[in-house]
Amino acid sequence: MKILALDFDGVIADSMHECLFVGFNAYLKLNKDTKLFDGKKFTFSNFKEKFSKDKAIVDKYKVLRPFVIDAFCYHVLLHMIENNIHVKNQQEYNALREKFMNLYDEYSKHFYSERYSLQENYDEYFQLLSPYRFVSFLKSSKEKFSINISTNNSRKSVEPFLNKCRIKVNILADKSLGTDKIKQIEFLKEKLKCKYSDIYFIDDQIRNLVKSSKLGVQCFLAGWGYNNEEQRTKARELKIDILDEDEFEQKLTTYKG
């Protein structure tokens, strides 16, 4: 049985709208005079209308989403949009992000407080998330693969979604182990008592795959997730396979490494 180690956001779940919803409400706590989205908090009853009305903001956010490293990045992205700041690549983005690190703890606290508050009504919260087509493959392939999660999200956020989608997971490695995916992969290897080369790691962020490939893990970039052409080009240069939604089943089933 092949062992899958799957990222959550951008691989299993499309959380694009959820992260903008939560991220903006947290941003509003620190930027009460913001003009973004008319400076009004998102609610379950108004977010669809506000996303539609301010589509230009949402579209800019979607372009910037591949730069995200962690929850704090939503503050940086929204600041960039509001102040019309542009970056050419991940390196420039990382340098910009460093300038705001004094706000990291406070913003992160607001971000997770907002997310956990919304999750108290999970049926409504669920409308902010969408399962990718990849989920259907997972549900139909549980006899062929050991399904495991490696995510910088939290178990509290991920497990209800997996249960609602009826995805049976063996081991879930979350941000409680740290946000370095190598530590999560090492944890999975130890728990599963397997070799690194037995693990098929699928993530939508090339930086996580570059690190993990050095361990001997079989790495795949989820082409349907939050990555841009710069990141896909780097994957091709490093000979990291890019999966797309039309061929992932064949590739994962027949891949020999």
Tell me the per-residue pLDDT of 160-200, one tens digit each, with 9 for 90 and over.
Answer: 999 999 999 999 999 999 888 999 999 999 999 999 999 99
- CATH of region 2-14+130-254: 3.40.50.1000
Q: How far apart are CA 69 and CA 84, in angstroms?
A: 20
pLDDT of residue 13: 96
Residue extent(s) of CATH 3.40.50.1000 domains in the chain = 2-14+130-254
State if pTM tops 0.85.
yes
Does residue 257 carry a pLDDT above 70? no
Judge contact between 125 and 118, C-beta under 8 A. yes
pLDDT of residue 256: 64
Task: Say which residues have a Cβ less than 8 Å from residue 123's Cβ, sequence separation at least 6.
Answer: none
Judged by DSSP in three states, 189 sits in helix
Does residue 155 carry a pLDDT above 90? yes
Sign of CA dihedral 31, 32, 35, 40: positive
